[in-house]
Chains A and B, each alone.
Chain A
Amino acid sequence: VSGHRLRLATLALLAVALGGCRGCVSNRPPIHLNPNMDYQPKVQAQEDSEFFADGGGMRHPVPGTVALEDPVELDAFVTGKDAGGAPVASVPAAARERFGGEEAFAARGLERYEIYCAPCHGSAGDGQGMLRRRSGVASADLRLARLRQAPDGHLYDVIANGLGLMPSYAAQVPVADRWAIVAHVRALQAASPVTGDAAAPDAAADAVDAAGGEAPADAPPAAEPAAEEGR
Chain B
Amino acid sequence: VSGDRRYWRSLERLRDSPALAAEGRLPEHLRPELAAGADLPPDGPTRRSVLGLMGASMGLAGLAGCRRPEEAIVPWVQAPEDVTPGLSRHYASTFPLAGSAAGVVVESHEGRPTKIEGNPRHPSSGGAASAWTQAAILHLYDPDRLRAPLRRERTVADAGAAGDAAGGDAAPDGAAAVPAETPPPPAERVAAAAAGAAEGSWADFVSAWGARAEALAADGGGLAVLAGHHASPTLARLAGELRRRFPRSRWVGWEPAGDDHAFDALGRRPVLHLDRARVVVALDADLLHTESEAVAHARGFAAGRRPDDGGAMNRLYAVEPAPTVTGANADHRVRLAASQVGAFAAALAAELGAGGDAAGELPAAVRRQAAAMASDLRTAGSAGLVAAGRRQPPRVHALAAAINRALGAEGTTVTYEPLPDGAARGAAAALAGLVAAMRRGEIDTLVVLGTNPVHAAPADLDFAGALERVPEVVQLTHAADETSAHAGWVLPEAGWLEAWGDARAAGGTASVVQPLIAPLFDGRSAIELVALLARGEEVPGHDLVRETWQDALGGAAGGFETAWRRALHAGVLPDAAAPAGAGAAPAAAAPAEAAAEEGGPAEGGRAADGGDPAAAASAPEVSPVEGAGEAAVAGDGELELIFALSPSVHDGRFANVAWLQEMPDPVTKVTWDNPARVSPATAAGLGLEDGDVAVLGAHGRSVELPVVVQPGQADGTVVVELGYGRRAAGRVGSGVGADVYPLRTSAAPWFVRGASLAPAGGRARLARTQEHGSMEGRNLVREATLDEHRRDPRVAAHGETEAEAVELWQRPELDGTYQWGMTVDLAACTGCNACVVACQSENNVPVVGPDQVSKGRELQWLRVDRYYAGDAAEPDLVFQPVPCMHCENAPCEQVCPVAATVHDAEGINAMVYNRCIGTRYCSNNCPYKVRRFNYFNFTRETPELVRMAMNPDVTVRSRGVMEKCTYCIQRINEGKAAAKREGRRLADGEVRTACQQTCPSQAITFGDLTDPDSAVSRSKRSPRNYVLLAELHNLPRTSYLARIRNPNPDWPASGGARSEATEVAT
- Which of A37, A42, A50, A69 is most buried by chain B, counting CB atoms within 10 A of its CB? A42
Question: A60 an interface residue at 8 Å Cβ cutoff?
Answer: yes
Contact B66 A45 (CB under 8 A): no
Please measure, in the bound complex, the distance between the C-alpha atom of A37 and the C-alpha atom of B963, giving whole angstroms: 13
Among B49-108, those with CB < 8 Å from A are: 58, 60, 62-63, 66-76, 78-83, 85-86, 89-92, 105, 108
Contact A62 B516 (CB under 8 A): yes
A100 nearest CB across to chain B (Å): 11
Q: Which residues of A contact B500 (CB under 8 A)?
A: 64
- Residues 39-72 of A, flagged 1 when their CB comes within 8 A of B and 0 if not, give 1111111111111001111111111111111101
**Chain A residue, CB-CB nearest to B957:** A37
Contact A39 B71 (CB under 8 A): yes
**Chain A residue, CB-CB nearest to B92:** A68
**Chain B residue, CB-CB nearest to A40:** B956
Select one of A46, A60, A61 contacting B73, CB under 8 A: A46
Determine, out of A6-14, A23-31, A108-116, the stretch whose residues face the partner at the interface: A23-31
Contact B85 A57 (CB under 8 A): no
**Chain B residue, CB-CB nearest to A32:** B68
Contact A28 B67 (CB under 8 A): yes
Question: A33 an interface residue at 8 Å Cβ cutoff?
Answer: yes
Select one of A28, A45, A64 contacting B542, CB under 8 A: A64
Contact A42 B110 (CB under 8 A): no
Please measure, in the bound complex, the distance between the C-alpha atom of A57 and the C-alpha atom of B109, giving whole angstroms: 10
Contact B92 A51 (CB under 8 A): no
Contact A39 B62 (CB under 8 A): yes
Please measure, in the bound complex, the distance between the C-alpha atom of A72 and the C-alpha atom of B567, giving whole angstroms: 9
- Which of A50, A56, A59 is most buried by chain B, counting CB atoms within 10 A of its CB? A59
Q: A29-B69, A39-B71 are in contact. Are A66 and B569 (CB under 8 A)?
A: yes
Question: A84 an interface residue at 8 Å Cβ cutoff?
Answer: no
Determine, out of B336-344, B430-438, B942-950, the stretch whose residues face the partner at the interface: B942-950
Contact A57 B112 (CB under 8 A): yes
Measured as residues with beta carbon below 8 angstroms from the partner, the interface class of chain B is 35 or more
Select one of B63, B71, B112, B945 contacting A59, CB under 8 A: B112
**Chain A residue, CB-CB nearest to B85:** A45
Question: A21 an interface residue at 8 Å Cβ cutoff?
Answer: no
**Chain A residue, CB-CB nearest to B952:** A44
Q: A56-B76, A58-B76 are in contact. Are A43 and B948 (CB under 8 A)?
A: yes
A171 nearest CB across to chain B (Å): 4
Question: B565 an interface residue at 8 Å Cβ cutoff?
Answer: yes
Among A160-216, those with CB < 8 Å from B are: 170-172, 174
**Chain A residue, CB-CB nearest to B81:** A170
Contact B542 A32 (CB under 8 A): no
A225 nearest CB across to chain B (Å): 32
Please measure, in the bound complex, the distance between the C-alpha atom of A28 and the C-alpha atom of B85, giving whole angstroms: 29
Contact A30 B956 (CB under 8 A): no
Contact A45 B111 (CB under 8 A): no
Question: A228 an interface residue at 8 Å Cβ cutoff?
Answer: no
Contact A48 B71 (CB under 8 A): yes
Please measure, in the bound complex, the distance between the C-alpha atom of A174 and the C-alpha atom of B500, giving whole angstroms: 27
Please measure, in the bound complex, the distance between the C-alpha atom of A62 and the C-alpha atom of B844, giving whole angstroms: 25
Q: Which residues of A contact B957 (CB under 8 A)?
A: 37
Q: Which residues of B contact A39 (CB under 8 A)?
A: 60, 62-63, 69, 71
**Chain A residue, CB-CB nearest to B562:** A73
Contact A47 B71 (CB under 8 A): yes
- Which of B62, B568, B940 is most buried by chain A, counting CB atoms within 10 A of its CB? B568
Contact B76 A36 (CB under 8 A): no
Majority SS of interface residues in chain B?
loop
Q: A29-B67, A51-B948, A66-B514 are in contact. Are A41 and B91 (CB under 8 A)?
A: no
Select one of A31, A64, A171 contacting B81, CB under 8 A: A171
Question: B955 an interface residue at 8 Å Cβ cutoff?
Answer: yes
A81 nearest CB across to chain B (Å): 13
Q: Which residues of A contact B81 (CB under 8 A)?
A: 170-171
Q: Which residues of B contact A37 (CB under 8 A)?
A: 913-914, 955-958, 961
Contact A50 B68 (CB under 8 A): no
Contact A42 B80 (CB under 8 A): no
Please measure, in the bound complex, the distance between the C-alpha atom of A177 and the C-alpha atom of B418, giving whole angstroms: 49
Contact A51 B950 (CB under 8 A): no
Please measure, in the bound complex, the distance between the C-alpha atom of A37 and the C-alpha atom of B91, giving whole angstroms: 31
Contact B74 A46 (CB under 8 A): yes
Question: B664 an interface residue at 8 Å Cβ cutoff?
Answer: no
Contact B72 A62 (CB under 8 A): no
A213 nearest CB across to chain B (Å): 18
Question: B939 an interface residue at 8 Å Cβ cutoff?
Answer: yes
**Chain B residue, CB-CB nearest to A160:** B81
Q: Which residues of B contact A69 (CB under 8 A)?
A: 82, 89-90
Q: Which residues of A contact B518 (CB under 8 A)?
A: 59-60, 62
Please measure, in the bound complex, the distance between the C-alpha atom of A40 and the C-alpha atom of B500, giving whole angstroms: 32
**Chain A residue, CB-CB nearest to B80:** A60
Select one of B74, B520, B951, B958 contacting A56, CB under 8 A: B74
Contact B82 A46 (CB under 8 A): no
Contact B108 A67 (CB under 8 A): yes
**Chain B residue, CB-CB nearest to A28:** B67
Question: A74 an interface residue at 8 Å Cβ cutoff?
Answer: yes
Q: Which residues of A contact B946 (CB under 8 A)?
A: 41
Question: A35 an interface residue at 8 Å Cβ cutoff?
Answer: yes
Interface residue ranges, B against A (CB under 8 Å): 58, 60, 62-63, 66-76, 78-83, 85-86, 89-92, 105, 108-112, 500, 514-518, 520, 542, 561-562, 565-566, 568-570, 844, 913-914, 939-940, 942, 944-948, 950-952, 955-958, 961
What are some 17 contacts across the A-B interface (CB < 8 A)? Answer: A30-B67, A30-B68, A40-B939, A41-B942, A42-B952, A45-B109, A46-B74, A56-B76, A59-B110, A59-B518, A62-B516, A65-B514, A66-B565, A68-B91, A69-B89, A70-B569, A73-B565
Interface residue ranges, A against B (CB under 8 Å): 28-33, 35-37, 39-51, 54-70, 72-74, 170-172, 174
